Amino acid sequence: DGGITQSPKYLFRKEGQNVTLSCEQNLNHDAMYWYRQDPGQGLRLIYYSQIVNDFQKGDIAEGYSVSREKKESFPLTVTSAQKNPTAFYLCASSTGVGSYNEQFFGPGTRLTVL
Amino acid sequence: GQNIDQPTEMTATEGAIVQINCTYQTSGFNGLFWYQQHAGEAPTFLSYNVLDGLEEKGRFSSFLSRSKGYSYLLLKELQMKDSASYLCAVRDLWDYKLSFGAGTTVTVRA
């Protein structure tokens, strides 16, 4: 089945450790996105990528890094520089960035930093 | 940038109708999306409006007025499974990024 997978669903880390969240899609989509969701707030864009080997900062990129070496994969690293990393992280993809292109979301990873 | 407002919570009875409003201010508009999100799950696409008017899709309809910066999502014949958060998102004309409202939590009661 086509879709977006994120792993793991729940992740616990100690403060000061870097952690990488996985996002894979087999929809043949060009564009991929990472969002962060906190209680009472809308989804906020961390990074997005329109094409392989290219990515752009979103609204809250500080303390995060990404790579886009393959079309189907867009991993997100939460670094120790991120001051408040505990959140629900959602990965999404779309056929492209422009025009009518709905974003399809993965199931999310809930990260808790202890 | 975008500024998107929607009510925090709404409650309705099974079988009733609920209308979720969304207002936005934007420097460049290129479409408005509605998503449904059940607790702890991924948002799923409901509707897309880019021109003024009403788009109907089964029990769900979405309306857009670009001149007023206003949209609503209408949920008819409410079912218990419709209890969820409903997210309004506006796409920017210049960079195509989506900006999301905080979401409206709808609770359907028997």
pLDDT in the model for residue A1: 63
Whether B96 has a pLDDT exceeding 80, the answer reads no
Q: Which residues of B touch A43 (CB under 8 A)?
A: 43, 87, 89, 98, 100
Per-residue model confidence (pLDDT) at position A99: 56
Probe site for chain B from A103, A109, A110 (most B CB atoms < 10 A) = A103
pLDDT for res B47:
95
**Smallest Cβ distance to B42: which of A41, A45, A107?**
A107
pLDDT attached to residue A100: 63
Average pLDDT for chain A: 92
- Each residue's pLDDT tens digit, B15-30: 999 999 999 998 888 8
Asked whether the predicted pLDDT for residue B92 surpasses 90, the reply is: no
* Distances in whole angstroms, Cα of residue B96 to Cα of each of A96, A99, B2, B32: 10, 8, 12, 11
Position A98 scores a pLDDT of 61
Question: Is residue A11 very low, low, confident or very high in pLDDT (cuts 50, 70, 90)?
Answer: very high
Is residue B34 within 8 angstroms of chain A, CB to CB? Answer: no
Q: Is the pLDDT of residue A87 over 90?
A: yes
Cβ–Cβ < 8 Å for B83, B108? yes
Contacts of A98 in chain B (CB under 8 A): 96
What average pLDDT does the segment A61-72 reach?
Answer: 97
Q: Cα angle vertex A76, ends A73, A82, to 5°?
A: 175
Average pLDDT, chain B: 94
Nearest to A72 by CA among A33, A2, A25: A25
Burial A18-49 (b: 16+ CB within 10 A, else e): ebebebbbeeebbbbbbbbbeeeebbbbbbbb
Tokens of A48: 């997005």
Residue B62 burial (CB < 10 Å; 0-12/13-18/19+)? buried
Question: CA-based angle A29:A34:A36, to the nearest 5?
Answer: 150
Residues of B in contact with A90 (CB under 8 A): 42-43
The mean per-residue pLDDT over the stretch A54-69 comes to: 96
Percent of chain A predicted with pLDDT > 90: 78
